[in-house]
Every structure is written in C-alpha cells, then in structure tokens.
Structure 1
C-alpha cells in the first residue's frame, strides 16, 4: 500500500523577495488579509488484528505474544456501547458516538467524525476535513490517523467525561440514561451536521448497541510508550455463540514512527503465525451485531 506523509514543511521566500514583499505591504497599512486555518496535525494509532492463535485457553494473550510486543501490564476491563439509529444514520455520515467506562475512572463520552484516507493520501483527507470545518484552529477535536493492516482512516474526536458516582467497576448506565447524557453533551459540529439540529435529532432517536466488555493489557514497544492488546468478545454473526476480536495497537506522535511500528508489528505477527490478514472495525461490528 502506498502511503503519503502529511505535509510538515513550508516554503519560505528568499531574503530579497521578503524585503520586496515587506515594502509592498507598507503601501497597505491598516489592511489585514484573512488567514485560513491550516490543516490539522494528526497523531497516529497503529491497529493490527491478530488471530485467536495468539490467545491461550483462557482467552489471554500468550506469554510469547506479550514478550514479542512489550506487553507487561495485567488485564484491565473496560465496557462500552455505541449509540446510533436502527439504520445507522450517524455511521452513514461518518459519525460515531460512544460511552465507555474503565474500572475506577469516570465515564468517557466520545463523539468522533471519520474521513476516508484513499491510497495513503493523508494530506488529501486532511484537506477534505479542513473544508468540513475540522482544522488546526478547532482545539475541541483531536485528529488521529488509525492505521490498520491495509486501511487508514482519519478521525476527529471530541472527548467529554461524566461522573461514575453510583457505578462500580465497569458498570454501564441504562440505555436511556446513557443516551440522555450524550444528547445533553453533544458538540456543535455534530448537532448541526447537514442541517440545524440534524445530529441532535438523530442521536435522540438512537438506541444503544452493546454494551460489550473487553480486557486490555498494556506496555511499551519500540517508539511507542502506549502499546496494548485488547481482547473483545462479541456475539457471533449468526446471533449466537461468541467470537473474539484480538487487536494489537500502538500510539505514535508522528508518521515515521507509526510507519515503522506498522511494518515491524506485521512482520513479527506474520513470522509467528498470529497475523489476521485484514482489518476488523470494532465500531461497525458492534453496530451490526447489537
């Protein structure tokens, strides 16, 4: 797959030209041209799926898997659910709304807008996002490129929190309570997406898809201080039984580190027979099966 590193450089005029420009500018004292906001600068998360060959009989990553990818922490539970309509109207517009609860933490409310990265053209996706109002000036959203086995997706996330008072462990609220929290905290971009109040009206008509509860093991590997393996049990495609999604992930601040993590993780997983040759989008899986 061809990948394109986002723009990091700007061309500056030579000194002589700069002086001439300054002189010309003096003729227009008092005039300030409008400056368009620049494209957002994303961080990266490499997400590689493994097969269940990477797990032991208790659905825990093998010791060899943990060692290969720097996983040293003990398991931590997290529960989450997505909210969307029966026809997945939010997802169709590239939006996902999630409520998550990690043990011992407040609830996390996440509103995420996704943009497709075509043929590794991250710059093109950033330009498309900029045109839609997601640029470097909006500090309410964090830009990130999710880099899977063969697919990249640019996302902008608005994260909020809600007190977990009265809830122990990773317990989730009722569907209606969780929805009420999310509707009350809806960010402006989603609320008025397409037309005034489209997002709010659509979210109000949504239901919970889930909850699901996964186990996560954490560590550090190569350039990433934020490595992890998540094992997520989901209902089978037939509506019964349980399937297990195993996701290996690494966060990186820049493209070059992410590219190396992506290549090396695939190579190591492939060499041990653990690699799943494809991309599993957990959001879509949960929306479809719950």
Structure 2
C-alpha cells in the first residue's frame, strides 16, 4: 500500500488550484450585450386646413363630432431655444420651454432620428448606437406619424416652478435659457464634444413665444385625441396663419396604423385634409 506523505499533500493541493485557475482563465467568457432597442409609443399627427376651423378659429362643430373632440380649449405657450444659425436643430436636437395654464413649466430636450421607408426598427437601431436604448429610462421613445413622414424621437422631460407667473406666461429669453442650461441632460451636454451642448444652448435665444389652444377628446383606439390650433406669424413676417394639428396617442403600432388611415380618410372625405406634413418646431425656429 502506498501512502502520500503529509508534506506532499499541500503541494498537490496547490497544483490543483493552479490548474483550476489556468483553466478558468482560458475558458471562453460570455459576451457583454448592450441594452436592446427602445420600445416606442406612437403619436399620429395629421394637419388640417383652415376649412376645419369656424369663424372664431376654433375646430368646427363638424370636426369635433367627427373626431370625438369634447373638451374645451386649454391654452399653452411655448418657445424653442436655439442659436440664430440653428446649431441644435442641425444635430437633430430641439429644446422647448412650455407653460400650460395652471401648471409648472415643462422643459423638453428632444433628439430626433429620421425613419426611412417606414423602417422603424432601423431607426431604433441607429438610435441605440447613439446611446438611446431600452436601458435609458431618462428618455421616452416615440414615433411621430404624420401624413407621409415618420420621425423617431427621444424626449427628456424636466420641470421648473411657475411661481410668480400667471396663466401661460413665459420668462424672458435670458431667464428661460438659464433654466434650460442648468437642467441640460448629459447626452445633449456632451453631444459632439465635452460641453458642446451646454455651450451651444448658452448661446441660444428663445424662438417664440407662441400660444396654442388645445381641444381634447377620444376617438377610435385612442383615448388621447386632440386638435391643436396654433396661430403663427406669416411667412412674410406679417399677418397670421393657423396651423391645425389633429393628433392621437397610442402604445400600439397596429392601433396607430389604423388611426392614421382612418383619420386621413375622414379628413379627406370632408375636405379638411392638408396634404403634407407641417413640423411646428421647424416653423417656429424659422419664423421667430
């Protein structure tokens, strides 16, 4: 019978540990996966012509009836902040300060990604590569679905006390810019380089203000339907034009597709449909 000496046992144990460590180091490791694509909600946005308004520039009774609009007018004022050269807009960013009657100020920092050929998944993958994924709970993903165009956006929402401001009043451009710079989210702050966003926003001014009236209701698959009537200065710098936007919010792509098709059909049949997409953000940046 062969016995292992007491002195030899520690060496054997040490060899076994070393072997286990070596095997562990050589074993393949599981790859690190990035967070998946974000899951967006949907907002259908269809523009209507002035034929949808009555003499007081409110949605006509026929429009309200056709789209389930039952609420009374609620006012909201807002401005977009950007440089004169629209440097933020050129990078797909918009920064908005909005005040609804009786509420705190809303600060919205939004990054847009185009949707090409209806391929929302491709836009979500592009956004993921830029850091906007399902793991970032600071941003809400939404697909804006217009007459002929879709846009994916990621919004970061913050608020500021409206103490001292009545109705839908907005602060001076300087004051509002100070709030927005102080609350800037990290993705925008360092978008192109360290502090690029903060420096760009610091050089911005208020484009606006504009004041819209919004009428709410429910229609079809959406319990969040609305018509927004926004007066804007004419393209020549004088006069007033009215932008009329019919919108529906839903969490479902299938419901959004149905709402989009049905809304266009009803508006077209009644002679209210504007055959195109009006981006309010761009309109306000360009005209104010």
Alignment of 1:73-112 (within 5 A): 73-112=71-110
Q: State the 1:33 CA deviation.
A: 3.2
Aligned to 1:268: 266
CA–CA distance in 2 between the matches of 1:254 and 1:194?
34
CA–CA distance in 1 between the matches of 2:237 and 2:70?
35
Select 2:246's aligned residue among 245, 248, 269.
248
Alignment of 1:1-290 (within 5 A): 31-290=29-288
CA–CA distance in 2 between the matches of 1:29 and 1:161?
50
CA–CA distance in 2 between the matches of 1:44 and 1:184?
30
Per-residue Cα deviation, 1:263-283 (whole angstroms, up to 9, x for no partner): 000000000000000000000
TM-score by length of 2: 0.90
Q: SS state of the match for residue 266, structure 2?
A: helix
Q: Which runs of 5+ in 1 are unaligned?
A: 1-25
Q: State the 1:288 CA deviation.
A: 0.2
CA–CA distance in 2 between the matches of 1:107 and 1:61?
26
Per-residue Cα deviation, 1:243-266 (whole angstroms, up to 9, x for no partner): 000000000101100000000000
Alignment coverage as a number of residue pairs:
265
CA–CA distance in 1 between the matches of 2:172 and 2:30?
53
CA–CA distance in 2 between the matches of 1:69 and 1:219?
8
Larger Rg: 2
Aligned to 1:8: none
Q: State the 1:194 CA deviation.
A: 1.0
CA–CA distance in 2 between the matches of 1:141 and 1:163?
21
CA–CA distance in 2 between the matches of 1:86 and 1:171?
23
Q: SS state of the match for residue 59, structure 2?
A: coil
CA–CA distance in 1 between the matches of 2:219 and 2:91?
35
CA–CA distance in 1 between the matches of 2:284 and 2:115?
22
Q: Which runs of 5+ in 2 are unaligned?
A: 1-23
CA–CA distance in 2 between the matches of 1:263 and 1:42?
20
